A and B are shown apart, each in its own frame.
Chain A
C-alpha cells in the first residue's frame, strides 16, 4: 500500500521554488508503483490524483487488505538534501483518564482504568481508530529498520536506523506501517526528488521478502480487532 501524503487543498511542505510536497509524493508513489509492479508486487495507492482522503480513509484501504504493508511517502522542509529517513509509530504510555481527573487520586499508582466507552469497545473486541497501529508497532519497527538500512546504502548521510515518531498517517493502520521522508522540499527541481523513487522502490522490494518471515516468526498481533 503506497500512500502519497497530503493532496487537494493540503499542499504539505512548500518549497521556495514553488514545489509542493503533495505533487512530489504523488510522482514518487507512481514511480515506486511502477518499480514494485515490475518486481511482481500488487500495489494499491491511497490516491492517484490531486485528492486528499482523510487519514482514516487512507488507513481503511490498508485495513481491508489482507497482508498489506503500508508505506506513506513524505518530503521534509528541512534536513540534508538527498537523505532519507524511515519512521515507525512511537507508542506512548496508556492514558488513564479517570485517574487524571479523579479528586484524591494524587500519588496513586497508575491503574488500567479507562473511560467506560473504551472499556466497552475493548470488551467487544474493537479498538479505536487512533490505536489501530499499537498491535503492529514491533512489526513496523522491524520493517522500518530493514528499509532504513537499505536506504542508508543508497543515500549517503541517511541514518542507519529507523526513528520512532508520532506520525498521524500511521496511527490508524492495522498492519505493518512505515513513513519514508526524503529531504528536502527546497530542491531546485521536482525531477531531482522524483529521481529518488527507483532506489526507494528497490529497497522496499528487497526488504519485503526479508521482513515477512521475520515478522511471522517473531511476533503476531495481539488481536484481530478491527478499528471502529
Chain B
C-alpha cells in the first residue's frame, strides 16, 4: 500500500471516530432539549397554572379546535375535571387556550387568559377573557366565529348544565370580538338544560370570580 493511501485511510478513520463522538453528543443534547419545557410551556405555567380541585377525576374531555376550512371539531383529551361546573369550565377553557394539538388547530390567541368565570342561577355562564382575545384574534367573521364556536362547543360539551354564555373582555361588555361578531348578546350552549345544581348557592359563593 502506498504511503499516500495509508495517510488517507488514517484520516478517514479519525474523521469517522470524531463524527461518531459528535453524533452521540448531539443526540444527547437533542434529547435533553426535548425534555426541557419550551418557552411557551414555561410562560403558560406562570400565567395559567393548572387548575386542580379536590373533586378532580381524570376524564375524557372534548375540546373543540379548528379542523380545516370553516369548522371546528372535537379532540378527545384526558384531563382532570372538577365536579364543580365553574372549575370544570375553567379547566376545559384553559385546555382550549393552552393545549392545541398543532399550531394550525389553535382558535384562541396564545396570550389569552381566562380572568373569571361565573354561573348565574338560570344557567347563564359569564366568561371574562383578557384583552388579548379581542386584540389578537384575526379580524373577520370567519376567524371570530371560529373562536366563539370553539369556546361555546367546548363548554356545551363538557359542562352540560350551562344554558347560554356571555363573553366579557377584561370585565367589560364589548360590542364585537374583533370588529364583526356581536358580543353584546348571549350564545346558546344547552338552552334546554335544567339549571345547574351549584346555582343553588349564591353567585358570590360557588360562582365566585376565578383568580
By a beta-carbon cutoff of 8 Å, the part of chain A in contact with chain B is: 5-6, 10, 12-14, 21, 55, 74-80, 83, 85, 87, 92-93, 95-96, 99-103, 105-108, 110, 130, 157, 159, 163, 165-169, 171, 179, 181, 183-185
Interchain CB contact under 8 A, A167 and B140: no
Q: How far is the CA of A85 from the CA of B180 in the complex (A)?
A: 14
Interchain CB contact under 8 A, A14 and B139: yes
Given A95-B186, A105-B122: A167 and B138 within 8 A (CB)?
A: no
Give chain B residues whose Cβ lies under 8 Å from the Cβ of A10: 179
Number of chain B residues close to chain A: CB under 8 A:
34
21 contacts between A and B (CB under 8 A): A14-B139, A77-B143, A79-B70, A85-B141, A87-B141, A92-B185, A92-B186, A95-B185, A95-B186, A99-B121, A99-B122, A106-B122, A106-B195, A107-B194, A108-B195, A163-B70, A165-B145, A165-B181, A166-B148, A166-B187, A168-B182
Our pick among B187, B199, B200, B202 for the contact of A92 (Cβ within 8 Å) is B187
What's the count of A-B pairs with C-beta under 8 Å? 115
* Other contacts beyond A55-B175, A93-B186: 14, CB < 8 A: A76-B143, A80-B69, A83-B69, A85-B142, A92-B185, A93-B163, A95-B164, A102-B121, A106-B122, A110-B122, A163-B145, A166-B182, A167-B180, A169-B180
Q: Which residue of chain A lies nearest to B191 when distances are taken between CB atoms in the complex?
A: A93
The reply on B184 being an interface residue by CB < 8 A is: yes
Which of B70, B163, B175 has the most A CB atoms < 10 Å from its CB? B70
The reply on B62 being an interface residue by CB < 8 A is: no
The reply on B87 being an interface residue by CB < 8 A is: no
Interchain CB contact under 8 A, B180 and A74: yes
Interchain CB contact under 8 A, A74 and B140: yes
Which of A10, A75, A100, A103 has the most B CB atoms < 10 Å from its CB? A100
Given A79-B69, A168-B175: A130 and B185 within 8 A (CB)?
A: yes
By a beta-carbon cutoff of 8 Å, the part of chain B in contact with chain A is: 69-70, 120-122, 124, 138-143, 145-146, 148, 163-164, 175-176, 179-182, 184-188, 191, 194-195, 199-200, 202
**Helix, strand, loop or mixed for chain A's interface?**
loop
Interchain CB contact under 8 A, B124 and A168: no
Give chain B residues whose Cβ lies under 8 Å from the Cβ of A101: 120-121
In order of increasing CB-CB distance, the 6 nearest A-B pairs are: A77-B138, A76-B140, A168-B182, A13-B139, A77-B140, A166-B182
Our pick among A80, A171, A181 for the contact of B141 (Cβ within 8 Å) is A181
Give chain A residues whose Cβ lies under 8 Å from the Cβ of B146: 78
Give chain B residues whose Cβ lies under 8 Å from the Cβ of A163: 70, 145
Given A168-B176, A171-B182: A93 and B164 within 8 A (CB)?
A: yes
Give chain B residues whose Cβ lies under 8 Å from the Cβ of A185: 140
Interchain CB contact under 8 A, A157 and B69: yes
